[in-house]
Structure 1
Amino acid sequence: MMPHQQILCVDMKSFYASCTAVMLGLDPLDCYLVIAGNHDRKGSVVLAASPRMKKEFGIKTGSRLFEVPDDPRILVEEPEMATYLRISTEITRVFHRYVPKEAIHTYSVDESFVKVDGALRLWGDARTIAEKIRDDIEREFQLPSAIGIGPNMLMAKLCLDLEAKSKGIAEWSYEDVKSKLWEVSPLSEMWGIGRRMEKNLTGMGIFTVGQLARYDLEKLEKKFGVMGNQLYYHAWGVDLSEIGAPILQGQISFGKSQILLRDYKEEEEIKHVILEMCEEVARRARNHRKVARTISFGLGYSKDEFGGGFYRSRTVEEPTNVTMEIYRVCLALLKEHYRGKTVRQISISLSNLVDDHMLQLSLFDPNGWKRRELGYTVDSLRSRFGSASILRGVSYTNAGTARHRATLVGGHKK
């Protein structure tokens, strides 16, 4: 009764590092290469590392620059985000040779889903198409890739992460769930389960995906709500989402988390950055014509304060995508939970979303529709003239970060 589609999940191996290696005339699979943003700060995060760096030195995405060994074979390069995006777009054009655009879902800059059901008579079975796509990418871009094949998006992604990344191409069916998926442990190895969820599940005596699949569904739903339902069915390899839809429907939200370039100690400065970030998440919601009922806000403290922080949510009576309304909620949460410590990270997200046309205008707030339309007007100006074409006054203070971020692509140098 479940979907029996032919879906490829295509992943570019160490994409940023591989692109840079090719541009330097190196073999992506044989060189020692690290991509990091700011070479002057030894605490800079490693954005990508070549496969040999991962295998021989344990350096991977998320490592810090000071962890990179002082070895003459190792090259440390800056990211070229605009170039990576152009290459990603060209790789997507390769998929268009085999399927129409409706059958392609770009999941991230280096990962895509391709539904090949309608192309089987033209090109052969799913594995044959996968081999053709992989060969095309390697021949034309000299970039390595891996492809997982499954009967739905979830299974294709799991096949990619758990088998294809080591084999190049792998294929899973529902019959493989018990023998290949249920053995997975720790649980965070399974896509969709993070460290926090893993901790909650192990506290319930669930240590493998097989144990999760055999756990009582009602208890999971009582504990985690809709996420419990999804975890249970994902453990059985069941996914009913279509190409282009988020795999975890219950996790739809618009959020932004920013690690600040310096410690922020003054509350007024912190408020300036919060306002800029509220503008950003509100814009993302407006771009999708969504309004949010729940607003989440958090601060991460500096290591000088021994870390820590808080993350709290509040549900509002009227769903909104108006910047200043979101900002007021964040300020209320700041006032309730902030104790004057040094801040290094700020997080804001909007969830519990509904369509914008469902927004009810209040008789007691006759100008509410004007504030809503103003946001869309500002968005259209930025879309036409650039993200820095119209900014709030706080962005021109010493605390503002929006002007600097407008010069970046994907948060990094162009």
Structure 2
Amino acid sequence: MDYSKFKKKTILCIDMKSFYASCSAVAMGLDPLTCHLAVVGDTERKGSVVLAASPALKRDFGIRTGSRLFEIPDDERIHIVNARMASYLKQSMEITKLFHRYVPSECIHTYSVDESFLQIDGTEKLWGSKFEVAKKIKDEISETFGLPCAIGIGPNLLMAKLCLDLEAKKSGIAEWTYDDIEKKLWSLEPLSRMWGIGPRVERTLNRMGIRNVKQLANYPLHLLEQKFGIMGNQLYHHAWGIDLSEMGAPIMQGQISFGKSQILLRDYHDPKEVKHVILEMSEEVARRARRAGKAGRTISLGIGYSKDEGGGGFHRSKSIDSPTSITLEVYGACLKLFEQFYERRTVRKISISLSNICDDEEVQLDLFNEKRPKQHDLGYVMDSIREKYGSDALLRAVSYTKGGTALHRSKLVGGHKA
């Protein structure tokens, strides 16, 4: 690969270590790095999910994000607290304000509540070398907020993120250049450790005989494109450390989707109740697409069964002829998938996504559904009412049934207690 053809930027990827747990620890006067603290969705529910665990809790007790409250040992050293999402979001915004002291707003991309990218080209005279500015930011976050962070440095967004995940989270600050690709990235295995490769893509690549990044980088490009389309091109170039994304743009172009996943508050034995939640979630997924002015052709439904019955589940997709952002069309596709693959077992998790995205500029007329344009417009009207008066201003009747969750979740921030 001739890297001289690609522009070399100076990108910092900053990750707040165990952000929720660290924020809660500081609020309690504890050291985020040495205390044993878990943040859970609801301390009153034994099955509640651990949203964040302090580094010491991970190291000494093996409790991680995704563990359950009942798995946490009864040890007096361990602090268990409810999530305080409003407080975490406020803290995140304050950290972003700190970044503005180092670079202008167009050079900041907030990737998530606890992770941001900064482009620091041209700041050398103000703050020194890239390592010096990284250390200044790391130290100021620690001194101002009492929070630990790690920083990866790279010539593009992808490389900075890979450096963060694979090295800087252990060392504090690290840099990867194109010279490090073969030595530090190519040996990576399993492929799901590579940022941007999920379990399903990994399984497909494994079936093609690709088990590490080096094999991916040396696989014929035309065969990857034949199998994955534009995503195959991205997988190939990412294996070589190449990423042309600009600040603020989705790093995996072409992978944009709108989705929602929910771990249910209890086991759902009645499929009718499961369908009620599917309708609520279809509403939310379609709303997210409409908010972005997008529509999608592929609807995916995932169902996870209760661990009490051995776990497992299914994830299936269905493509439709015309792209949609209409709630009932998303729900209709999910319902067909549910009825086809559901095994009459107890449900504990549901996920829905809308992909194969395009602009929602116009609705294709359907000779068999003359109400389609009105349904399309009605969705946007309902969204505007909810934006003005709150997400619970308009709810479907199923939300007031025993199985509905939307009314409860409308009182939450980020899906958890404020």
- When normalised by structure 1's length, the TM-score is 0.95
Equivalent of 2:126, from 105, 122, 125? 122
Equivalent of 1:391, from 384, 390, 395? 395
- Which string of whole-angstrom CA distances, capped at 9 and with x for unpartnered residues, describes residues 149-204 of structure 1? 11110000001011111111111111111121122223222212233433443444
* Aligned counterparts of 2:9 and 2:158: Cα–Cα separation in 1: 11
Aligned partners of 2:152 and 2:160 also within 8 Å: yes
Moved more, 68-77 or 223-232: 223-232
- Which string of whole-angstrom CA distances, capped at 9 and with x for unpartnered residues, describes residues 206-254 of structure 1? 3332222122223333333333322221111011111111111132100
Moved more, 207-216 or 174-183: 207-216
* Aligned counterparts of 2:105 and 2:151: Cα–Cα separation in 1: 19
* Aligned counterparts of 1:17 and 1:225: Cα–Cα separation in 2: 40
* Aligned counterparts of 1:196 and 1:292: Cα–Cα separation in 2: 20
Residue 362 of structure 1, CA deviation: 4.5
Residue 364 of structure 1, CA deviation: 6.1
Residue 363 of structure 1, CA deviation: 6.3
- Which string of whole-angstrom CA distances, capped at 9 and with x for unpartnered residues, describes residues 48-71 of structure 1? 111111222222211222332222
Residue 304 of structure 1, CA deviation: 4.1
2:352 aligned with 1:348: yes
* Aligned counterparts of 2:184 and 2:23: Cα–Cα separation in 1: 32
* Aligned counterparts of 2:226 and 2:367: Cα–Cα separation in 1: 38
* Aligned counterparts of 2:321 and 2:245: Cα–Cα separation in 1: 30
Equivalent of 1:106, from 102, 110, 113? 110
| Distance of aligned partners of 1:20 and 1:153 in 2 relative to their CA distance in 1, 3 Å threshold | same
- Corresponding residue for residue 207 of structure 1: 211
Residue 129 of structure 1, CA deviation: 1.9
Moved more, 363-372 or 137-146: 363-372
Secondary structure of the structure 1 residue equivalent to 2:290:
helix
Aligned AA (2:214): G
2:302 aligned with 1:303: no
- Corresponding residue for residue 89 of structure 1: 93
Aligned partners of 2:25 and 2:31 also within 8 Å: yes
| Distance of aligned partners of 1:135 and 1:350 in 2 relative to their CA distance in 1, 3 Å threshold | same
Secondary structure of the structure 2 residue equivalent to 1:274:
helix
Residue 405 of structure 1, CA deviation: 0.4
- Corresponding residue for residue 336 of structure 2: 332
Query: Which stretches in structure 2 are left out of the alignment for 5+ residues?
Result: none
* Aligned counterparts of 2:208 and 2:297: Cα–Cα separation in 1: 30
Aligned partners of 2:363 and 2:373 also within 8 Å: no
Aligned AA (1:259): I
Secondary structure of the structure 1 residue equivalent to 2:373:
helix
* Aligned counterparts of 1:247 and 1:273: Cα–Cα separation in 2: 31
- Which string of whole-angstrom CA distances, capped at 9 and with x for unpartnered residues, describes residues 299-342 of structure 1? 22223443333222222122111111211222222232334332
* Aligned counterparts of 1:395 and 1:251: Cα–Cα separation in 2: 31
2:178 aligned with 1:174: yes
| Distance of aligned partners of 1:201 and 1:318 in 2 relative to their CA distance in 1, 3 Å threshold | closer
Number of residue pairs matched by the alignment = 414
- Which string of whole-angstrom CA distances, capped at 9 and with x for unpartnered residues, describes residues 120-154 of structure 1? 34322322221221122111101001110111100
- Corresponding residue for residue 381 of structure 2: 377
Query: Which stretches in structure 1 are left out of the alignment for 5+ residues?
Result: none
* Aligned counterparts of 2:323 and 2:109: Cα–Cα separation in 1: 29
Residue 366 of structure 1, CA deviation: 4.6
Aligned partners of 2:363 and 2:376 also within 8 Å: no
Moved more, 357-366 or 376-385: 357-366
Equivalent of 1:17, from 13, 21, 26? 21
5 Å matches for 1:66-81?
66-81=70-85
2:196 aligned with 1:222: no
- Corresponding residue for residue 40 of structure 1: 44
* Aligned counterparts of 2:188 and 2:307: Cα–Cα separation in 1: 34
Percent identity among equivalent residues?
63
Secondary structure of the structure 1 residue equivalent to 2:321:
strand
* Aligned counterparts of 1:196 and 1:208: Cα–Cα separation in 2: 15
